[in-house]
Structure 1
Amino acid sequence: MKRKKDEVSTGRKSLQYRGNKCLNCNQPLDVSDVYCPYCSQLNSKKQLSAKDFFAEFLSSILVYDSRLRNTLKDLLFRPGVISKNYVKGQRLKYANPFRFFLSVSIIYFLMEGFIGYINPSEKDNQLGLNVKPANEASIDSLFANQPPEIFTPDSRGDTLKAKQLGIPLYYSEKSLDTLSFFENYSKRSSLYMSYYFRTKTENPVVALDSLNHSNRFKNRWLYSRSITWYKIISNPNAFINYITSKIPFFIFFFTPFYALFFWLFYSRKKFTYMEHVIFLFHIFSFIFLTMLIFRIPEVIVGT
């Protein structure tokens, strides 16, 4: 009995945090009430902390009930109010922000995968696949009409190598090493992009061997980046689709950093770091929910 009394007197259940009114349903309470007899919410005015937030998340992970309806209604039509109410204490009325964001993200991923399944052309246009560029002729013209270059003393050999490889220009490793960093990077990228366009060689090791360039990590990395840049230029729609598919990952993993920025920017306001996290989860949930709604017609129509 004594142990139970000690547990009640510490943490969020402490007497010092109790109020005379339920923050969730406004039911009048007595300071002796640990929970609201009407809605069962904990009688506590303690400011939300990370520990409290994740404790509520774990306790509500298996149950949505009416909170889903309230969350959807306020999130779609009053996105600012839901964060305000949740921070003020109306937490049983709404779904846990982190859990809801996670659920919406998972549904969005599943729908994207389903759309890619019923519409293979959209899936095949993702960056990194071997698709035929829409503006290949313009890319060919771009590489074929390279401006005259000022070559090093090894220029004759470079010209012969370019003809041998079927590319408009060639720079040997020796000639590139004599250039400044930025000029070296620029000409090396142009060479690698031009070589990939002519040969479609994806393997950096094979490409560098054909170009007689050293098989160093820097060269392999730059060749791979040149392929990526070529695909962006030749098929910008694929790049947009690729970036769009990665947005949920960026938002999910960078939310703590966004919240830290808001917390520092509004440091004079009496908002905790976790309250900024809650606000951002609600905003991002609203964005994904909107994107999800706009994608539903594609699933129904199948185009």
Structure 2
Amino acid sequence: MAKRRRKFVQCPNCGYTFEEVNNYCPNCGQENHDLNVPVKHLVEEAFESTLHYDTKFWRTFKYLITRPGYLTEKFNLGQRASYVPPFRLYVFVSIFFFTTIALFASESLVVSDVDGAKAQLEATNPDAAARVMQADSLARSQVGLARNDTASVIINKEVDNKFRNFLNNEEQARQKLLKNISFMMFVLMPFFGFILYLFYWSQRRNYVEHLMFSVHFHTFVFLLIMFAILVEVVFSSFDTNGWVFLISMAYLFFALRYVYKESYLRTAVKLLPIFLTYLASLAILFVATVGVSVLFS
């Protein structure tokens, strides 16, 4: 929607004489648009601009959800004016995503203490608890054998204290972990773009195209997880984890097929290693994020 301008004959700032096509002054850069009008005209303009942005906003969300890869394709083709820019869309959605996690799902990120963690693990998975206790016993015996190594004992004690403090300060730990996870996801996006760059090397695409795919994919996954969290809040007995995984896989498959124009078979063959590489990267970054959160707590 073109902006309806009330144009000057001369620039009020520098006196340059405008031509009809000048929307901005070529001399000083000031916009060629008269704002000295009744308030009702300014209100009408603001409403018109807002309505136009809302239309763009909802159109973008509609295609993001219902047509995997469509927004990436449009961006790569240079058809961008009708849609919200990818990074702006990601930032907007991520704010609501981490707010939703903080309000409804953050209690699962941290347990209150070490004993509570052991009890929780024993209740949910006795075999895993037994292995943890065995490993803990072995670690204690090894520490006992290494008591003469003073530096090692001090380091182990320091790490143990940090870990216990991290678990005991539950609210502070949760906030720090959420903050670091948000940064982790921001790092993961360009890395996933690089994974796509490697898998589709033969297409000789610019890295930016793969990065935009990654941004749109993560934005959709954020929306999906938000919806899943809200479903579990309403229906507490309903487990959405499996559905989130399957829908994410299906969305990624159709998005890859739409953007990279390969056959269904070639896309399916590439999907599994791409997704497994992505999950492995996610797991490594998450463990590193938890470690950093503990060490700097």
**TM-score for both structures, normalised by structure 2:** 0.46
Q: Looking at CA atoms only, which structure, 1 or 2, has the larger radius of gyration?
A: 1
**TM-score for both structures, normalised by structure 1:** 0.45
